[in-house]
Structures are given as structure tokens and as C-alpha cells.
Amino acid sequence: MRLVSYAQPGGDRSGGEQAGAVIASSAGDRIVSLAPFTVVEIISDAKALAAAREVVERATASPEVLPLLADVQLLPPVRPGKILCLGYNYRGHVAAGEDPTAGDPAYPDVFVKTPNVLGAPGTPVLLPVASSEVDYEGEIALVIGRRAHAVPLESALDHVAGYTLFNDVSDRHWQGRSSQWELGKCFDGFGPLGPELVTADAVPDPQDLLVEVVRDGVVTVSQSTSTMIFSMAFIVHYLSQVMTLEPGDIISTGTPQKLPEALETHRALAHGDAVTIRVAGLGELTTTFIDPTSTDPIGDPHDS
């Protein structure tokens, strides 16, 4: 199932949001409301999930009566109580004959992003006045569906409701100013999330997904989750030894390496740049970066 949160059409100014499911149809993706449930209720409560599945099944019979997904304003699929992120978690390329695991760290490097980073899919990131060297990190985020405390490795994925995309936007200058990276990671809006939470049953193998990032039309990242150092199951197992993971919490599983050519030509994000993260089965998350002090017009990133 493909779950989204979206703004209640004609809702009041308090910004009511509701859960929906995306249904593919020949004339474009459609959306069916799963109100009154929230996405977190659906992923954490078996009865709500069963009810949602039934709504989707009925709606699939005649999708043409449903609103187009393109016509609704998407919100982050969940509002996580915790946004946990991994540092280095994809192996780099090594020469033939070398052991690709030789540089593996013993333990994952974990940091936390604050709730103010959360951004809706498609909403631009405003380059902050104080930022100076903004970069993207295209990642797969797993979403907790069932409370997890000290869970064994074997059953860790039972606590994962599904997967979505996350751009761990980072200011490299602020990140490098001190030993802890947080300030470079926690600018307002530095965490676009979405577009959809794809439930785990629709993802045959989370360790066999190709993560691609396209920057201004050029593929800069292309690496499979099979090259992760710490698997998603291990990450949930490991983190749950420390903290109780709650439904709606997300763990962003680290960014793959930029391709060598992309590294060579890399420059900080600037006004009008667009970054798309795409993973087959999980959709695309496009973020445009805007300098609010600039007067240059921004094109449509989907035209590039």
C-alpha cells in the first residue's frame, strides 16, 4: 500500500491533514481518502490497517472517480517523534581483489535531526541566510510501525511499517565547525520526507533497492542498498537497545557515495538547483533550493 498525508481540500486555516492511499490508474495516480485515520494510526493499529486496505480495495474498482494525486497538496507522510540518521553506511568502490568490507566501522554513526527540519514532498528548501555550503543526501528512511525496545535482529523488521525517501540536507560548513554535526543538519526545512510511505509488504527486499539521485538533470548517485554496511534490520535492532522506537519514528539509513564525476564537479546548492531522489517502488522526492533573497525566477524542476 502507498500511504500519503495530504492537506484537507477546503480545510480550515489550521491546516487539517488526512491520510490517503495512492492508487495507480491508466490516467495517472489517484488518491483515496483514508479519513478519519492518520497514517500513524494505520501503520500501528491492525484494525485501522485492515479498514484502510478495504477502502483501497473497493476504490481500486473504479479509480477514475477519485481525485488525481497531482491535484492534492502532499504533506510529510508521518510527523516523526524522532528523526534518526546514519552517517557513513554505504561502502565505497574498491579495486578488484580488495576486500570491500575492510573499511567498515565497528558501529554505526548515529545522529539526530530536530522536528523543525521536516519538509513536505515538493516543498522547496529555503537556503537559510546563515547557511553557506548546503549539500543534499538522498536516503531511504524506514518508518517504525510497531514499538521496538531491545528487539532481536531476527524480528527487527517486524517493527518496520514501510519505507520512504528522505533528503538529509546538510550545511557542510556548519557540520564541520565542531565535533558534533547537528547544527549543520538541523536548519529549518533541511529534511524533505516522502512522497509516500510504501508499506513493507510492497517492498520485496529492502536490501536490494537502487538509490539514485539526480541533480539538475545529472545522475550523481547510483548505488544499491546491497552495499550498506549495517542492514536495516541491524539498525533497528541496534538502536532499539538504546531507545524505545515508536510508531512514526523514522531512521534514515545513510547516504550512498556520490559518483566520482559528481564528486569532481561538486558545488554547493544554489538558488534554483533541484535534487531528485528516486528509488523504484518508492517513487521520487524532488526538492528545489531557493535563495529567498534572489530575484531570479525558478523553472519547473520536472522540465530539466
Taking the complex as a whole, how short is the minimal distance between the CB of residue 285 and a second copy, in angstroms?
A: 22
Which range of residues in 20-28, 54-62, 170-178, 191-199 is near a second copy by CB under 8 A? 170-178
293 binds a second copy (CB under 8 A): no
Taking the complex as a whole, how short is the minimal distance between the CB of residue 150 and a second copy, in angstroms?
A: 7
Residue from 136, 163, 166, 181 that binds a second copy (CB under 8 A)?
181
Which range of residues in 2-10, 19-27, 111-119, 228-236 is near a second copy by CB under 8 A? 111-119
Taking the complex as a whole, how short is the minimal distance between the CB of residue 177 and a second copy, in angstroms?
A: 4
How many CB atoms are located within 10 Å of the residue 225 CB?
A: 22
130 binds a second copy (CB under 8 A): yes
116 binds a second copy (CB under 8 A): yes
110 binds a second copy (CB under 8 A): yes
For the record, the C-alpha cell of 194 comes out as 516522502
Q: Which is nearer to a second copy, 4 or 144 (CB)?
A: 144
Q: Binding to a second copy (CB under 8 A): which residues in 44-83?
A: 81-82
Taking the complex as a whole, how short is the minimal distance between the CB of residue 229 and a second copy, in angstroms?
A: 12
Residue from 132, 244, 265, 294 that binds a second copy (CB under 8 A)?
244
What is the residue-wise DSSP string for the chain?
-EEEEEEPTT--TT--EEEEEEE--TTS-EEEE-TT--HHHHHH-HHHHHHHHHHHHHHHT-GGGSPBGGGS-EE-S---S-EEEESS-BPPP--TTS-TTTT--SS--EEEE-GGGEE-TTPPEEPPTT--SEE--EEEEEEE-S-BSS--GGGGGGGEEEEEEEE--EEHHHHTSSSS-HHHH-STT-EEEEEEEEEGGG-S-TTS-EEEEEETTEEEEEEEGGGBSS-HHHHHHHHHHHS-B-TT-EEE--PPPPPHHHHHT-----TT-EEEEEETTTEEEEEEEE-TT--S----GGG-
Q: Which is nearer to a second copy, 218 or 243 (CB)?
A: 243
Residue from 239, 250, 275, 277 that binds a second copy (CB under 8 A)?
239
Q: How many residues belong to the site for a second copy (CB under 8 A)?
A: 39
Residues 6+ apart with CB under 8 A from 118: 76, 79, 80, 83, 191, 193
Asked whether the beta carbons of 214 and 136 are under 8 A apart, the reply is no
Taking the complex as a whole, how short is the minimal distance between the CB of residue 192 and a second copy, in angstroms?
A: 16
Which range of residues in 28-36, 107-115, 135-143, 212-220 is near a second copy by CB under 8 A? 107-115
155 binds a second copy (CB under 8 A): no
113 binds a second copy (CB under 8 A): yes
Enumerate binding residues for a second copy (CB under 8 A).
81-82, 84, 87, 105-117, 128-130, 149-150, 174, 177-183, 186-188, 239, 241-244, 246
